[in-house]
Amino acid sequence: MKFKIFILINLIAPFLFAAKPKFNDNQIIAMTPHYFERNHSSPELLGVNIYKSRQGRVYQIDIQVDRNRINDDLSFAYSALTNMGQYAKKPIKQLIVVMHSDNYRNPPQVCIGKAKCSIDFWVHEKGEYQSWYKDCIHFKEL
């Protein structure tokens, strides 16, 4: 009997220790600026928030974008949101990037994305960029 328990523990233990760490909202908010600071080509991070809406939990960042690099800045922002958001203790349903232009005549653009779809593309590398852009996100102006 002891041998069976020993075998069972040895079979289950790797799965228990292989689980990803999970962080609360305040920890994720605190870690997000470090994600941006470690890459010299990242857009300027203006703000971070995690909150609950009718659609579920939302992870939002505000960034300052360069009009010549807007697609690169958006891609970096979604990469950051998905890489950080996958470690949330409570699942994130929606990812929002508010892009403030360096041209002050342009209003901020808001990119709203589905978290699962975005995590599948950015973290698990499933699908193509064009499919993610077409199927997972949409834009609106403030």
pLDDT in tens, 106-127: 899 999 999 999 999 999 999 8
pLDDT in tens, 65-79: 988 899 999 999 999
Per-residue three-class SS string for 109-128: EEEEEEHHHHHHHHCCCCCC
Record the pTM: 0.83
**Is the separation of the CB atoms in 82 and 97 below 8 Å?**
no
In 3D space, the residue among 126, 54, 36 whose CA is nearest the CA of residue 93 turns out to be: 54
